[in-house]
Structure 1
């Protein structure tokens, strides 16, 4: 093992030590893991997995929390706990879908703008700044009104502006890295632009992208819940946390469990991703 390998290994160990020493980050990681497990194992751990579909049981309409319905039942008698577990699955699918669109687009544009100067940088940075001036929620609502409400269209509506934050972040980092001596050395050695972008600059952006995507997950869950709350996201009978809050609020304050359970689920998931993102930021020692 040469000296470079030892240095890299030591840096990773130090980063992991910083993460382990942060109890808040550990708590956030455990919360995120629990959400992921709940979503993955929902068909097996949900008390009534069939209640994730178009099940109607008016005999248990607005059933209060008890030993059978731990979090109560909704307006048509479906188990709220089961629907919350499947709701986590929908929220995480939204997160993955949005980031799968936003990160590659924003990252690629940010790399190009940061590496190339002149017209390329001006065009990309200018267009990104124009898009950043549009409030994301307003754009999402506009797109949601034009397109048929669904999970896929909710992803598109949110991703249409979400890429801008990644473009600006990667642009800032790549612009700084592009001035380093090892980049100039790569140019003088005859390395292609593609090699410099993907092998020299991009690896230096991975840490900030990782932190950004983790923090983004929390905001995307909130955005998705907002769209569904307004009727522009996932449609019934698919269990969605925002839709469940919207349905439950009609029966407040008597049937409080219809809002409390999905509301706390949204809070729990967003808090977990935020805490984990803060921990990763301290671990990598980066600014996002």
Structure 2
């Protein structure tokens, strides 16, 4: 009998999600991107074209039955490189959000619950970091370190945790004065128990929505770094660097920009639609 309200709430949340066509489309897009990234070696017609292979006989080939997205300046299949580009983008998302979300969440929990000097120190440092333009910081790090996937993750992660810290701080500060927190404190629960067993579960909805929406921004931000030459090092296929390589042949070789550009749009659209669907499902503001 006690589980019925929880099951009912979960069912209603799923019902709202399943009745949202945009959310379902977003979920399908995200699943398709993940599937292409995971099974890239199996679905790619020319898996060796992710390396430094050169085939000048087929360079700048227009889309056809063999090369669905055409070929680039080195004769490499663009469909293959686009599919593997999804893998690089998702690795960037996992690396950046896998580090920044836990860091931002813990700092936000501590600042919102502890108050005092801890709140002043964490929120002050967060505000200082938020004042730094992310692209400027990433470009500065890119100028110092060698362009590769690890350093691109580092450049984005250094500032991305701040958004989660501020979000979790606001939620925690509002929950810290609730009756169930006071009851847990009076029953002898320590700060660790209250933070991670009482407050954190109530933050998971907004964290999930924020993380899903951030995945789209990380993909776009990573593509921007690669486009500017501070991302993944060639010949590794990356969507941003593919757009940068193809732009010099516009407008005649339009497919060299269209394929990776549409892939970026496709992935970011999917995560944005899914995030909006989760926000409606949980009925939260993120």
- TM interval, short-chain normalised: over 0.9
Aligned to 2:274: 276
User: Which residue of structure 1 lines up, in the alignment, with residue 156 of structure 2?
Assistant: 158
C-alpha RMSD of the superposition: 0.6
Q: 1:52 deviation in Å?
A: 1.1
User: Given the two structures, how large is their TM-score scaled by the length of structure 1?
Assistant: 0.98
**Deviation of 1:92 (Å):** 0.2
Ranges in structure 2 where 5+ consecutive residues have no aligned partner: none
The match for 2:120 is 122
Aligned length: 286
Kindly report which structure 2 residues correspond to 1:44-55, keeping only aligned pairs within 5 A, or say none. 44-55=42-53
Aligned to 1:205: 203
Number of the residue aligned with 2:189: 191
Partner of 1:245: 243
What is the CA distance between 1:15 and its match in structure 2? 0.3
Secondary structure in 2 aligned to 1:279? helix
What is the aligned partner in structure 1 of residue 131 from structure 2?
A: 133
Match runs of 1:163-178 below 5 Å? 163-178=161-176
User: What is the CA-CA distance between 1:140 and the residue it aligns to?
Assistant: 1.0
TM superposition shift of 1:286: 0.4
- Establish whether residue 70 from structure 1 lines up as the match of residue 51 from structure 2: no
Aligned pair partner of 1:20 in 15, 18, 21: 18
| 4+ aligned runs moved over 2 Å, structure 1 | none
Give the secondary-structure state (helix, strand or coil) at the position aligned to 2:165.
helix
TM superposition score normalised by structure 2: 0.99
- Give 3-state SS (helix, strand or coil) of 1:224's partner: helix
State the alpha-carbon separation in 2 of the partners of residues 14 and 64 from structure 1: 49
Q: Which residue does the alignment assign to 2:27?
A: 29
Single out whichever of 130-139 and 224-233 deviates more from structure 2: 130-139
Secondary structure, counterpart of 1:252 in structure 2: coil
CA distance in 2, matches of 1:271, 1:101: 23
SS of equivalent to 1:126: helix
Gaps of 5+ in 1: none
In structure 1, what is the equivalent of residue 260 of structure 2? 262
* Residues 131-150 of structure 1: CA deviation (Å, up to 9, x unaligned): 11111111111111111100
SS at match of 1:219: helix
Q: How far apart in 2 are the matches of 1:154 and 1:160?
A: 10
- Find the counterpart in structure 2 of residue 149 from structure 1: 147
Structure 1 residue 231, shift from structure 2 partner: 0.7
Aligned to 2:179: 181
